[in-house]
A = this chain, B = another copy of it.
Amino acid sequence: MSALDQMNFPEEASEGRGEKRLSAVIRERRATPHFDSTPVPEEDLKRILAAGLEAPSGYNLQPWRFVVVRDPEHKKRLREAAMGQPKVEEASAVVVACGDTRAWKESDLERALKMGNEHGFPEAGNEGSRKAVHALLGGQAGTAAGINGEIGIWVNRHVMIAFTTMMWMAEALGYDTAPMEGFWEDKVRAALGIPEHVRVVALLAIGHRKGNDKLYGGRFDPKDVVFAERWG
């Protein structure tokens, strides 16, 4: 997993399983409380990760970073940082989704611009993009206020686009998932060597369900959460 050499999305998943419809997996998905030990084949795991990496981001800055934890010893340590939840050790893989608050400034803005130029975006637009990105993110860059405030929010927002995409792709391929927000960020950082300026956003456990899925808790009435034209 030091490299994802497979960035294609074949029409069929491995073992001849078809890909489920998005509407069906949205209807059927439940948070998985327990996983059995059946591994997720590397090829499918790469498909899931690659799907997330294709997510959109502002100025194509892709502030997401993913640590894929599969080794039993690392899972054990991660479980402790995740409030002891058994599914961290049980699941075939746990994707620790992180957001880098500094990478845009240190390297990624220039990297994204260069890559964009190689893909046909005119170089004449680069200076405008630089100014816009600095106006958007520059104020709090690298400060604690930034990491815990607006830049923290910005990376969380972006990371969740890729994270959610991975969750639906895993479910479409027939796997069970558990999105997790129950963890001590500092302990996850310590367990996996994640730097201070990187936010740990969420964990995604992927594998095969053991026992019953969690019950469906229902959803609020759409009239209470969807408004026409104006708030309320």
A68 → B minimal CB distance (Å): 6
Q: Give the docked Cα–Cα distance between A136 and B8 (Å).
A: 39
- Using a CB-CB cutoff of 8 Å, which residues 46-61 of chain A contact chain B? 47, 49-51, 53-56, 58, 60
A40 within 8 A of B: no
* Residues A164 and B169 in contact, CB atoms below 8 Å apart: no
* Residues B9 and A23 in contact, CB atoms below 8 Å apart: yes
Q: Taking the full assembly, how many copies of this chain does it contain?
A: 2
A134 within 8 A of B: no
Interface size range of chain A in the complex = 35 or more
Q: Give the docked Cα–Cα distance between A160 and B164 (Å).
A: 8
A80 within 8 A of B: no
A141 within 8 A of B: no
Greatest chain B CB density within 10 A among A29, A53, A62, A227 is at A227
A15 → B minimal CB distance (Å): 16
Q: Give the docked Cα–Cα distance between A98 and B169 (Å).
A: 25
A181 within 8 A of B: yes
Q: Which residues of B contact A227 (CB under 8 A)?
A: 1, 65-68
Q: Which residues of B contact A150 (CB under 8 A)?
A: 148
A64 within 8 A of B: yes
Contact string against B for A residues 53-85, beta-carbon threshold 8 Å, 1 for contact and 0 otherwise: 111101010101111111100100000000000
Q: Could you name 6 residue pairs across A and B whose Cβ atoms are closer than 8 Å?
A: A3-B222, A21-B21, A23-B47, A53-B222, A65-B225, A98-B231
